Amino acid sequence: MNSLYTRILVIICFSLPVQLSSAINWSTPNAQETDTGTYVSPFAEANETCFKCHGHEKYEYSNDLLGTKVRALMCSERIIKREEFYISNHKSFACIDCHSAEYDTFPHPGELRMELKYNCLDCHGGDDMYSSFNFEKIDADYRKSTHFKLEEEGFTCWKCHDPHTYRINIRNSKNLKETILYDNAICLNCHSDFSRFQLLSDRDEINLMETHNWLPDQTAHFRSVRCIECHTQLNDSLLVSHLVLPKDKAVKLCNECHSKNSMLMVSLYKYQSMEQRRDGFLNGIILNESYVIGANRNAYLGIASIVIFGMVTLAILVHIFFRIRRKYNK
C-alpha cells in the first residue's frame, strides 16, 4: 500500500509526463515460455507436400491428360496456414499422423473425404500425460452444453478448436487482452458469420450488438471479458468451462462480476488468481489487466472513509450536545 501511495504521490506532485505504453510486464512468474514462431518441425519437409497446396489460397497441378497446368482456388475450409500451424499445440505433428497417407496422391482418392476425423478424446482421453487438462471433465461439460445438442448436425470439438491452429492461451497468457481477443474470435467465428452459423442451425441471423444492447459500455466489456464468462456455467474443476448455456441462462446480473465475490476470479482470472496482487485491493489480480467497479474497491480506503465519516458524525453530535445544553442553560 505504501508503495502504491508513493507512486500516486509522485504522479500528483510532479505531474511528470505519463507513460502510455502497456509495456509494463505484470505476467505471472509461472507463465510458460510462449511460442516464438521459430519452431522447426521434424516433419517440416514431409508436411510441405501438403502445405504446397493447402498452405495457399491458390494451388497448381498438371493435367496429364491435356498436358496443361491448371491453377485453381483452394477451398477456404481446406487452407492451413503454415505460420499458424507451427505455433499451434499440434505443431510437432506430421499431417499423416491424423490424415491418411493416401493423401500423398493427387487427385486425392474420393473416399478419403469420408475419413473419420479424430476427436480430442481419441488422443487425449485416458492419458495421464494430459490429465492436468481434464479432457474427460471437459467432455462431460460439453455433453451438458447447448452445443452438444447440435452434434447430430455436425458439431464437434473442431468447430471451436481447429486442431491445425488451436493454441492453449490462458495457461500461457502474458497478455490477457490478446487471450480474450483470441478466445472470443472462436465464438465469433460462427456466431458472427451467418454462413458458418447456418451449417449447424436453422435459426435467423443474430445481431450480436443488438442482443447485447442491454450491456453498458459494450466495447469495454467485449475487450475485457470472454464470451464464455457469461455464457457458460462455472466449473470448479475446470480452468475453462465448456458447459455453454442456452441464451436465456446467460449471466445478465451485473453483480456477478461487479462485486466483492466477482465470478471473474473463478473464470477469466482463475489461473492467475494465485498470483494475487497486494496493495489492499479486493480481487487485485484483475487490476493487472482491467478495472471492475465493485470488484476492485480498496479495503484501506474503505476503512479510512468509515473512520473519517465516523469522526465527522461524532463531532456533529458533540456540537449538537453543546447547543442543546446552551439552550437549556439560557
Give the Cα separation of 329 and 203 in Å (integer).
82
State how far the Cα of 185 lies from the Cα of 160, in Å rounded to an integer: 9
Provide the Cα torsion 289, 173, 32, 284; round to 10°: 30
Please list the residues that pair with 58 across neighbouring strands.
73
Decide if residue 256 touches another protein (CB under 8 A): yes
Q: Where are the beta strands (DSSP E) in the chain?
A: 58-63, 68-73
216 near another protein, rule: CB under 8 A? yes
Chain centroid offset of residue 288 CA: 16
Enumerate residues 6+ apart whose C-beta is below 8 A from 31: 172, 173, 174
Question: Looking at 107-115, 119-127, 196-204, 322-330, which segment touches another protein (CB under 8 A)?
Answer: 322-330
Member of 32, 62, 211, 261 binding another protein (CB under 8 A) = 261
Using rule CB under 8 A, residue 1 touches another protein: no
Contacts of 156 (CB under 8 A, 6+ apart): 117, 119
**Closer residue to another protein (CB): 186 or 225:** 225
| Cβ contact 58:72 at 8 Å | yes
Q: Could you give the CA distance from residue 315 to residue 210 in angstroms, rounded to a whole number?
A: 53
Which window, 52-60, 113-121, 201-209, 283-291, contacts another protein (CB under 8 A)? 283-291
Residue 219 binds another protein (CB under 8 A): yes
Binding of another protein by 249 (CB under 8 A)? no
Joined grid coordinates for residue 162: 481447429
What minimum distance in Å lies between the beta carbon of 291 and another protein?
Answer: 4
Among 1, 22, 92, 154, the residue binding another protein under the rule CB under 8 A is 22
Amino acid symbol at 41: S
Q: Are 188 and 181 in contact (CB under 8 A)?
A: no
Number of residues in contact with another protein under rule CB under 8 A: 45
Q: Least Å distance between CB 170 and another protein?
A: 21
* Residue listed under C-alpha cell 471473474: 264
- Segment near another protein (CB under 8 A); pick from 21-29, 53-61, 76-84, 86-94: 21-29
Q: Please pick, from the candidates 72, 101, 209, 253, the single residue that binds another protein as defined by CB under 8 A.
A: 253
Contact stretch for another protein (CB under 8 A) within 47-55, 135-143, 196-204, 298-306: 298-306
The minimum distance between CB 242 and another protein, in angstroms, equals 24
- Given the rule CB under 8 A, which of 115-123, 199-207, 243-251, 317-325 is the region that contacts another protein? 317-325
Determine which residue in the list 48, 291, 299, 310 makes contact with another protein, applying CB under 8 A.
Answer: 291
323 near another protein, judged by CB under 8 A: yes
The rounded distance, in Å, linking the Cα atoms of 185 and 195 is 16
- Helix intervals (H) in 68-211: 82-85, 95-98, 120-124, 135-144, 176-191, 194-198, 208-211
Enumerate residues 32-91 that contact another protein by CB under 8 A.
none
To another protein, the closest distance from the beta carbon of 12 in angstroms equals 9
Helix or strand run (H / E) with residue 7: helix 2-14
Binding site for another protein (CB under 8 A): 4, 7-8, 10-11, 18-22, 24, 214, 216-217, 219-220, 253-256, 258-261, 281, 287, 290-291, 293-294, 296-298, 301, 305, 308-309, 312-313, 316, 319, 322-323, 325-326
